[in-house]
Structure 1
């Protein structure tokens, strides 16, 4: 099975200091680019997160502070990686909920202006869970009939993710070999940000997806609860989520 591509697609996996999209940092990044002719390019970085890697996290992915103390920071590799994924769709395992939102945060912290929303996102975990509901190791065994060695190594997990998607396309005749379709199938809901704090309603308006204003349009909340915007800006929310709130607020000023 060969992917039917409209654009090159980059499969990626991050190893990080933790699982908080707003505050944690990348310590390893691996990516495989599949070009339109089927050829492949790879990039892999060990990254100094500039913060302590918790021991429990290091025990999972095997990367300790000592391993990355002399590595470049994300800011030092951000432009190179941005060029690598330019014009590409993106794929990963649990990537819509974690890898893509955290990568967007890192790009913003590095002051690299990259429009992630113009891309299609394929989340192999979502496809897997909708079809079988298991883990990456189980997915690799189930679809590829191989044992995933070096699990939680970014490079091994990235390669396994790509192979699982190809096997999924072989296994399920109803699963279209089309990036637009796979991107739509990978999405549980249509998010207005990457972290899922904001979703689009049937009218295409951004709505709050958490807390006391859940289900309400952002533009309405900003009018009826003026202090809410300041609370978001000062809170522990992802930078991209704050950026969307600001965009909506500025849009309201321009429409007056």
Structure 2
């Protein structure tokens, strides 16, 4: 059993999307472990104050009808903050998503979270330490040898191509045979890669990223749409000129800005 000095709250969120600033919580589940080993589990659905996108419902199964009679975050915020007070936090990938999104929800109702003395344990960080996602680790796992010249550009380049060949004709090919819905954020294959590029892009009814940062995707209907923010899911070509100018003036990747121009000029359809 873990030795705890103060209660540990393990929590997970289901949300309207993946934007930690603009998306909202539709469900929060908390497992609270006390230093004496006692456990409490609480789960609450919330009305996000906006429609839940179909894409989000497809992930977590929560629809607008499911939360129609549920309270808003504002209505439960003070009680939730009191319940979390004096606790440390534990999540999986929460430092990048759950914690900042929950903090944003509290901030929107004028509450400060987390407190300065809160420790956050992210189990995904522990997992990555124990299972390194480096080129050297991949070479050992899939090519069966040590990458002895790691971080020399020529050796890294050669090893990367060896990995591509090994994965394309082995694990990836097998994976794609049984998994139609490959997330655009996990796989970005140019259509010119004949071994599996065409199958990934055209053989499955899923979203395809348009720019490297995945700010735009091609939806299953073949339409290029926004993949973030308040215009999530809306066709890029129908955007207000002011929104396009806002993107051009903000700190988005240059590749994203160039791709936006191509889409708006109908050079990419």
Moved over 4 A (4+): none
Q: Distance in 2 between matches of 1:115 and 1:124?
A: 18
Aligned length: 137
Higher relative contact order (CA 8 A, sep 6+): 1
Matched, 1:98 2:97: yes
Distance 2:39 2:101 in 1: 24
CA distance in 1 between counterparts of 2:107 and 2:26 reads 17
Alignment partners' CA distance in 2, 1:104 and 1:28: 15
Tell me, which stretches of 5 or more residues in structure 2 are unaligned?
134-245, 252-269
1:22 is aligned to 2:21: yes
Contact preservation (8 Å) 1:104, 1:116 = no
> Larger radius of gyration, structure 1 or 2?
2
* Residue 52 of structure 1: how far off its partner (Å): 1.3
Structure-2 change in CA distance of 1:133 and 1:78 (3 Å): farther
Distance in 1, matches of 2:40 and 2:33, equals 7
Superposition TM-score, scaled by structure 1 size: 0.50
Cα deviation code 1:78-101 (max 9, x no counterpart): 111111111000001101110000
Q: After TM superposition, list the pairs within 5 Å mapping 1:154-193 onto structure 2.
A: none
Unaligned runs of 5+ in 1: 135-230, 237-256
How far the C-alpha of 1:115 sits from its partner, in A, is 4.1
1:124 alignment counterpart = 123
Taking the aligned partners of 2:114 and 2:72, their CA distance within structure 1 comes to 21
Contact 1:28/1:44, CA 8 A, preserved across alignment: yes
Query: Take 2:114 and 2:31, find their aligned partners in 1: how far apart are those partners?
Result: 20
Gap change, CA 1:23 and 1:127, over 3 Å in 2: same
Query: How far apart are residue 116 of structure 1 and its match?
Result: 3.1
Partner of 1:39: 38
The two structures, once aligned, show a CA RMSD in angstroms of 2.2
1:192 matched residue in structure 2? none
Query: Shift of the alpha carbon at 1:129?
Result: 1.9
